[in-house]
Amino acid sequence: MKRRIIAAILTLLMALSLFPAAAWAAEPTEADLKTAPIISNLEIHDDGEGFVWLEVTVQTPANVLSAIDHFENHELGFNQAGYIGQIDLQYSVDGGEWQETAITPSPNHDHEDSWNGVFETQYLDELRVDSEVRARARYSGADADGNSRYSDWSDMLVLNEKVDFTASQWALPELAEADRLGLIPDCLKGQDLTKKITRAEFAAVSVKVFEALTNTETEAAEDPFKDTDDPEVLKAFNVGITDGKNSAGDLFGPDDLLTREQAATMLTRVWKKVNFSGWTLKTDGDFDAQFKEAYTMPARFSDDEKISSLAYDSVYFMAANHIVEGSNGAFSPKAVTDAEKAVGYAQATREQALAIAVRMVKNL
């Protein structure tokens, strides 16, 4: 008796094995047919000869793949995959109107490879390598009566998102680049960037530059200052970008406005920290000869004599690497006369600070 039961079970299992698993899959539900694809990546590519295109990486959830299998294996006479025949991609370039293209995966027996992958748009006249692109996708198809059916739209994915800046026209391209590179600290986001930058704000910018150059995250030091506990200041202090402004070293002056030569000095310290093993503010003098060999002295500024001795080499290092510039031959390092001090002469602005941060990352 046991043998006959076992034989019957084996016969049944062999019979079942002749049918594909998809044939026994449950009927897709309305929820399955409404499930949206997932856009996991957007990239803009340029062949250097004027051909620019958009690549979108699409992932298809498992329940949708099961629905596709169900329709194909039941041969219900629908299009390639029944209700789910193609992927509709909508995209907007630089705030323009929505455009749409259809992606039809090639039929094959490996649905995961066919419905998951990188899909390309055709040539787009308005697309640039730095364009802001918004994209979303959905599945579309038709039912047995030829009526169009659609899934929900996927979440929106944004590439090169543009930020509205309150800034001078000249600064906008480099501010957009600063945003793309992650160089704008939280304290400056949404602020008027034409305003003068404080020591605390520039410390935050300098930390962003250091992290960009080293691909690391910076930790805050224990607080040595009486007048601030700003974590970005403490990170800058920990790296060696800045220190106290008094002899005791316990006052930072977070709200003091920064001069152009101070900005050059702080960013040069970032470069030294990245490039000279063992460099610290205390050991800075030990690296003088090595530092002077790292650049070729450019033409002197017309107000060369106004540059502080502490900032002198840093200013010309930054000038040699096209990170800081003069105006009409002058650098305007700091205010010297009472009249200059009264009008805030040579104080760096937030947009100037972010512009030189971008040049620092790109040039060095």
Domains in the chain (CATH in brackets) are 20-159 (2.60.40.10), 169-363 (no CATH)
Kindly indicate the confidence band of residue 17, based on its pLDDT and cuts at 50, 70 and 90: very low
- Of residues 229 and 115, the one with the higher pLDDT is 229
Nearest by Cα to 127 from 55, 39, 38, 57:
55
**Six-digit token string for 354:** 């972010």
> pLDDT over 90 for what percent of the chain?
54
Report the predicted TM-score, pTM, of the whole model to 2 decimal places. 0.61
pLDDT by residue (tens digit) across 59-111?
A: 999 999 888 887 777 654 444 445 688 899 999 888 788 889 888 887 655 66
**Six-digit token string for 121:** 């748009």
- Of residues 1 and 179, the one with the higher pLDDT is 179
Q: What is the pLDDT, as a whole number, of residue 112?
A: 67
Whether the predicted pLDDT of 230 surpasses 70 = yes
Q: What is the pLDDT, as a whole number, of residue 19?
A: 43
Which residues are 59's β-sheet partners?
38
Average pLDDT over residues 261-277: 96
CA 161 to chain centre: 9
Kindly indicate the confidence band of residue 6, based on its pLDDT and cuts at 50, 70 and 90: very low
Amino acid at 278: G
Which residues are 52's β-sheet partners?
46
Whether the predicted pLDDT of 122 surpasses 90 = no
